[in-house]
Structure 1
Amino acid sequence: MRSELTMAERIQICRHHEDGRTTNKALSLWASKKMGKPINEMTISRILIHKIELLGSDVGSNRKHYRKPECPNLESILYSWFLTMQEANVTISDAMLIAKAKMLSNSVPRESAKEFKLSNG
């Protein structure tokens, strides 16, 4: 039976590997025992490829996937605005967030030439 690891579990594996001396096989055995599900060496290897990103991220622990934002500058500014509104007890709808993102997208330089897309959620 296949079960996917959460981000919290992946981060836990990376932290256990921080000394860099633990082999993937030993880490696989440790993680399988700790998490109560089989985790093979290839999975460990794939997780460790993204170790720096995982340890430096603040993604939700129940998430299964981490996708980098296409416009990190825009996301950072939008998140700061969101926190400011939250502190002021302003209820923010998806529509308000999208409108603010559209407004900011015109003034923040983008790292990618990809078409800028916004979605609910």
Structure 2
Amino acid sequence: MHHDAPPLDPQTPPPAQRLGELTATLAADLDRGRWTPGPLERILVFRLLVATAGDGQLTTDRLRDTLWEGNLALTTIGGGRLARLLAELHDTGNASAPEVDSVRRAATELLERVVAHGVSEGDASCVAL
């Protein structure tokens, strides 16, 4: 059984809480137009979601590969918000509890919206590999 190590700073919330808060903030900002994922962000999310098509799992390996592919650019464009979301998803990858599953589902839905948002704006990069 895997247990998350206690945070070094007792004030640091657990990964599931951080992921939930970040997902809610990004979803609200996407709704209000305060966060508009750019082409690199959308294509990386699209490729990540394609990789999950067989089993629907955002595995730590897939998340790590996406962060690696985005390289340094992903940590700077859009304030690095997508990179942080992917990193938080990675940090919750081995945890299994109803609250973790719930926030991971919400984050996955947000990633799906990122791709759909690009397609609705006429960005064909998300539909052609």
The structure that has the greater radius of gyration is 1
TM over 0.5: no
TM-score by length of 1: 0.30
TM-score by length of 2: 0.28
Which of the pair is proportionally richer in helix?
Answer: 2
Task: Identify the structure with bigger relative contact order (alpha carbons < 8 Å, sequence gap 6+).
Answer: 2
